[in-house]
């Protein structure tokens, strides 16, 4: 049975953009180990073009002695994009999905065991609206940045979620895991 989760770093004011600016100061060994366990249990990652371009320019430049870089570089990747070419998709094991994001994801769920959507807020909103998300995972950092893209914007379909886990890490970080309420 396939399983799709979304995973986002988020500030207290709901911002998910530019986590490389505000998230690193809140990383602890415990939260890093949780992220590594998440990656180890994931068959493939799914992302939009913008996230792919950002990740592909960063993660391959990180050393293999950095465990999260090793895991991120090794996992297979699927990118939903109508404009990214195969020539652009040179980061490891990458497959470009050129069709409708919802249809492509539904098809991918039939092929993969565990799919992780890391970042990719636009894709996350589309998949939530389509009912394809099995879990929403938010790493909530104790920071307010004031501006930036929010994960849940005006126009997102209303949805009830059930909290299935809340873990507090050092430095005030809270890992929240939700699933769609039945």
Per-residue pLDDT of 117-140, as tens digits, reads 998 999 999 999 999 999 999 999
The domain segmentation of the chain, as residue ranges, is 3-180
How much is the pLDDT for 157? 86
CA 39/CA 116 separation, integer angstroms: 8
Q: How confident is the model at residue 169 (pLDDT cuts 50, 70, 90)?
A: very high
Mean per-residue pLDDT, 156-164: 93
Q: Which residue has the higher pLDDT, 155 or 12?
A: 12
Q: Is the pLDDT of residue 96 over 90?
A: yes
Please answer whether residues 157 and 15 qualify as being in contact, where contact means their C-beta atoms are separated by less than 8 angstroms: no
Mean of per-residue pLDDT scores for the chain: 93
The angle at the Cα of 29, spanning 20 to 77, to the nearest 5 degrees, equals 55
Handedness of CA 71, 41, 11, 124 (dihedral sign): positive
- Provide the 3-class DSSP secondary structure of residue 44: strand
Helix axes 29-40, 67-74, angle to 10 degrees: 20
Cβ atoms < 10 Å from Cβ of 94 = 18
pLDDT in tens, 18-77: 988 899 899 989 998 999 999 899 999 999 999 999 999 998 998 888 888 888 989 999
> pLDDT-based confidence at 156, cuts 50/70/90?
confident
Q: Per-residue confidence at 1, pLDDT binned at 50, 70, 90? A: low
What is the fold, at CATH topology level, of the domain defined by 3-180? Dihydrofolate Reductase, subunit A (3.40.430)
Nearest one of 102, 57, 49 to 78, comparing CA atoms? 49
What DSSP state is assigned to residue 110?
A: H
């Amino acid at each position: 049975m396939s399983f799709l989760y979304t995973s986002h770093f988020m500030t207290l004011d709901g911002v998910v953009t530019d986590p490389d600016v505000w998230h690193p100061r809140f990383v602890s060994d415990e939260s890093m180990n949780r992220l590594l366990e998440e990656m180890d249990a994931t068959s493939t990652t799914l992302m939009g073009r913008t996230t792919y371009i950002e990740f592909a320019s960063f993660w391959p430049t990180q050393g293999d002695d950095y465990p999260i870089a090793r895991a991120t570089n090794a996992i297979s990747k699927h990118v939903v994009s109508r404009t990214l070419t195969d020539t652009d998709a040179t980061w490891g094991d990458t497959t470009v999905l050129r069709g409708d994001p919802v249809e492509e994801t539904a098809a991918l769920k039939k092929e993969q065991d565990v799919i992780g959507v890391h970042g990719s807020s636009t894709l996350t909103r589309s998949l939530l609206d389509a009912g394809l998300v099995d879990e929403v995972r938010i790493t909530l950092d104790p920071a307010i940045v004031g501006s930036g893209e929010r994960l849940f914007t005006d126009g997102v379909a209303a949805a009830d979620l059930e909290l299935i886990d809340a873990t507090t890490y050092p430095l005030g970080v809270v890992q929240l895991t939700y699933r769609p309420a039945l």
